[in-house]
Amino acid sequence: MGISLTAEQEEDGRIAYFLRPDEYELADPGLTDEEQIALWLATRMVQLDGGGVDEALLKLGGTPGGPSDAEDPTATVGGDSEILALLLDAAGVRQRVSFQYRGREVTADPLGVLNQRGHWYLIVAGQPEPRPYRVDRGSNWRATGVKGAFVRGPRTRLADALPSAPWELGDEKVDVELLFDPAVAWRASGDLGRDLTPSAKGFRITIPVANASALVGWLLEYGAEAEIVSPREIRQHLVDHLAGPA
């Protein structure tokens, strides 16, 4: 399909050629305000190389840009597009993938690829639950073996494999025991989405932590009514934060 040109002869005899927008422009799709907002959010969530998103958005009746102080949720594919395509294809045909991750070789059964807070994660089958690998922390990604090499287990939500709390973001987790005053135990239970266990000194809970700084930042909201019981190195992290710069 091409775009037709209109030829007209000028008064001096020369031939002029015109493109008439009304002959090739798309009709206004008549998007509602809600649809325009959804379209804008979609263009901000994933950006492919090449740009031109705002211009296309304008042509569809949307409004580019947005609140200048809003947090940018964009998941930029950029140079990782070939890797993501490889991983998505491997997950679709059930072909194992191999890659280097933190200095070791990993071979895994890919279940899918998800984005969280601007980072792409490969979700692989694990025991007992699927586990995530951050794509930008891996290298030498490749599909290995034959298609149909593994069977998917019971249907699970891949998003459940991603950490939901800031202190869970990371690869190496340690179990941290926390103690809360009875006056705030209900609040901590709500924040954590789990029940706390009553004890002689208060309410206790053990949670997996990969980012000690994020945990400390959250606990500071509770003041003296929250305490890190163990391990010692995580407890010291809180002590050092309260002491401030030496």
Q: What is the mean pLDDT of each run of 10 residues along the chain (246 residues)?
A: 70 76 66 63 55 53 45 51 87 92 91 81 84 88 90 75 78 89 92 90 92 89 91 88 70
pLDDT, position 163:
72
Give domain limits for the chain. 6-65, 78-156, 174-243
The CATH architecture of the domain made up of 78-156 is Roll (2.30)
How many Cα atoms occupy the beta-carbon half-sphere of 78 within 13 Å? 9
> For residue 137, what pLDDT is reported?
86
Handedness of CA 126, 130, 134, 139 (dihedral sign): positive
* Cα gap 238→205, rounded to integer Å: 17
3-state DSSP percent of the chain in helix, strand and coil, to 5? 35, 30, 40
| Separation of alpha carbons 172 and 104, rounded Å | 14
216, 243 Cβ separation under 8 angstroms: no
- The predicted pLDDT at position 181 comes to 94
Measure the CA–CA gap between 79 and 56, rounded to whole angstroms: 22
Supply φ then ψ for residue 76, to 5 degrees: -80, 125
Q: Distance between CA atoms of 220 and 238, rounded to whole angstroms?
A: 9
Contacts of 199 (CB under 8 A, 6+ apart): 179
User: What is the Rg, in whole angstroms, of the alpha carbon atoms belonging to the chain?
Assistant: 27
Going by C-alpha positions, the residue among 98, 104, 163, 85 that lies closest to residue 124 is: 98
Tokens of 18: 């015109």
In contact, 156 and 110? CB cutoff 8 Å:
no
| Residue 160 pLDDT | 77
Nearest of 31, 40, 118 to residue 72 by alpha carbon: 118
Measured between alpha carbons, how far is 58 from 92 in angstroms, rounded to an integer? 34
